[in-house]
Amino acid sequence: MTFQDLDLPPFVMKAIDQLGFQNPTEIQTAVFADVFAGTDLIASAQTGSGKTAAFCVPIISRLIENPASTALVLAPTRELALQIDEFWKQLTLFARGFPSACLIGGVSMQAQDRMLRKQPRIIIATPGRLLDHIRRRTVRLMKSTSILVLDEADRMLDMGFRPQLTAIRDELPKSRQTLLFSATWSPEMDSLSKEYLREPKRIAVGTVSKVAPTISSRTITTSQQKKNETLLEEVGRLRGQVLIFARTQKRTDRLARYLESYGVKSACLHGGRTQGQRKAALKAFSTGESRVMVATDIAARGIDVAGIQTVINYDLPQVPEDYIHRIGRTGRAGASGEAVTFLVPEERLEWRDIVALLKKTGSQIPKGSEGVAKQEVLKAEKGAPVQKASALKAKHPKGRIVPAGAPKASNPEAVPPTTGVITIPLVPAQVAPKAAVRRQVIVPSERIRVSLVRR
């Protein structure tokens, strides 16, 4: 199937051309005809498979067919909702009469009221904020909603949105088309789909929750004490955009500050930040102003930043499926990518569950990951003691340049100088006293700024 076969309006074809899409992806080929036909659908596809376009493109045609109708898309996170809205705007760039309203928390109600007064043809919302509007009577869904999309429905359930989803369902007309997208399936999902859909057709592309084959994965055995040091080394070695996942908001903040203190521009994204801060972080990361973004699992799904080359699992996710969603941030729409996972003894059990899931879904199992033997990790810790700041400074008075991709030299001084790569004298945060004096130096003959930590 090609886009030309679909008889799409010329303005959509122009937008698709501008977006650089040559042919529909697998999920798009699988769902287009049914969405056009008005069938209820349950669709599961690998992350990054192009599912946003899979529902947005045919929805435009449906809205043209019925000028009095509107669509509603529910998404679990603000970021995903914003991304869908952004895609919708790109798709309707060359047309008038398809305004959207994006209703998410953390943004003023008044601005959203203004968008709603423009009679949007599509509302893209997170469940909580949509309900706020319904209760204030600034949104009325009953009359015109002809298509409902539940995007990343499994995530909405994980995030505890079930009561809100039920309340929203009661506000919708019974006669409508419903499309449910979910990466995973559970008994709770089953009951949700029974509540929302009528004789749905099921479409699965690839194996549900499978790691895309274009992503290569590896593990690094380390310890909690040495994680920061290992991370610094990895980030210095890697090229391109790097997305790092940490478990808690505090750890995420701390890690971003730690990387910044070594001169690595790092954005930080988690649910404890304001909407403005979250938007700014995403912008800095997607424009490349920050090469690194540290995030909690809020970014595991939905975030679509083109060209993320590496995902690092600094901490393991608590829900095994999130491992697949996390690393799905790289290798999007057929591109290649790499996933690096830190393994520590404390997270052995979580890793065991992730490996079991990878096996079950027929995904590639990263090398060196058949269980993290505690002794092995402890041996690794013993063999490579954390270096004292003073010893490092004596050895590398001006820091050292690590060429990206270079093999680790046993004699660090033997590494040839280069430019453009981060320079890091490794002083783990744990051994650096709080009162440590930081100064910045420029390594002679290199155009690289180096941060040194000095006692």
What residues line the site for ligand AMP (CB under 6 A)?
A: 21, 24-25, 28, 48-53, 304, 306, 332-333
Give the DSSP letter of residue 22. Answer: -
Question: Helix (H, G, I), strand (E, B), or coil: what is residue 391?
Answer: helix
Q: How far is the CB of 53 from ligand AMP (least distance, A)?
A: 4
Closest CA to 16 of 34, 33, 31, 28: 28
CB nearer to ligand AMP: give 282 or 377: 282
CB nearer to ligand AMP: give 21 or 36: 21
Residues 131 and 52: beta-carbon distance below 8 Å: no
Q: Which amino acid is located at 57 in the chain?
A: V
Residue listed under structure tokens 């801060």: 277
CB nearer to ligand AMP: give 48 or 366: 48
Helix (H) or strand (E) holding 221: strand 215-221
What is the distance between the alpha carbons of residues 168 and 251, in angstroms, rounded to a whole number?
35
What is the distance between the alpha carbons of residues 387 and 355, in angstroms, rounded to a whole number?
33
Q: How far is the CB of 134 from ligand AMP (least distance, A)?
A: 27
Residues 270 and 277: beta-carbon distance below 8 Å: no
Q: How far is the CB of 89 from ligand AMP (least distance, A)?
A: 13
Question: Helix (H, G, I), strand (E, B), or coil: what is residue 190?
Answer: helix
Q: How far is the CB of 25 from ligand AMP (least distance, A)?
A: 5
CB nearer to ligand AMP: give 89 or 352: 89
CB nearer to ligand AMP: give 24 or 428: 24
CB nearer to ligand AMP: give 56 or 192: 56
CB nearer to ligand AMP: give 49 or 451: 49
CB nearer to ligand AMP: give 28 or 313: 28
CB nearer to ligand AMP: give 331 or 428: 331
Give the DSSP letter of residue 423. Answer: B
Residues 134 and 166: beta-carbon distance below 8 Å: no
Q: How far is the CB of 3 from ligand AMP (least distance, A)?
A: 8
CB nearer to ligand AMP: give 24 or 366: 24
Q: Which amino acid is located at 79 in the chain?
A: E
Q: How far is the CB of 21 from ligand AMP (least distance, A)?
A: 4
Q: How far is the CB of 27 from ligand AMP (least distance, A)?
A: 8
Q: Which amino acid is located at 428 in the chain?
A: P
CA-based angle 101:156:347, to the nearest 5? Answer: 130
CB nearer to ligand AMP: give 133 or 332: 332
Half-sphere exposure of 55 (CA within 13 A, CB side): 28
Q: How far is the CB of 354 from ligand AMP (least distance, A)?
A: 22
Q: How far is the CB of 12 from ligand AMP (least distance, A)?
A: 12
CA-based angle 301:303:306, to the nearest 5? Answer: 130
Residues with Cβ within 8 Å of 125's Cβ and at least 6 positions away in sequence, in order, are: 72, 73, 74, 75, 81, 101, 102, 103, 104, 133
Helix (H) or strand (E) holding 254: helix 249-261
Closest CA to 272 of 301, 250, 239: 250
Q: How far is the CB of 48 from ligand AMP (least distance, A)?
A: 5
Q: How far is the CB of 302 from ligand AMP (least distance, A)?
A: 7
What is the distance between the alpha carbons of residues 36 and 228, in angstroms, rounded to a whole number?
50
Q: How far is CA 176 from the centre of its chain?
A: 31
Q: How far is the CB of 158 from ligand AMP (least distance, A)?
A: 18
CB nearer to ligand AMP: give 6 or 130: 6
Q: Which amino acid is located at 89 in the chain?
A: K
Buried b (16+ CB within 10 A) or exposed e, 330-352: bbbeeeebbbbbbbbbebeebbe
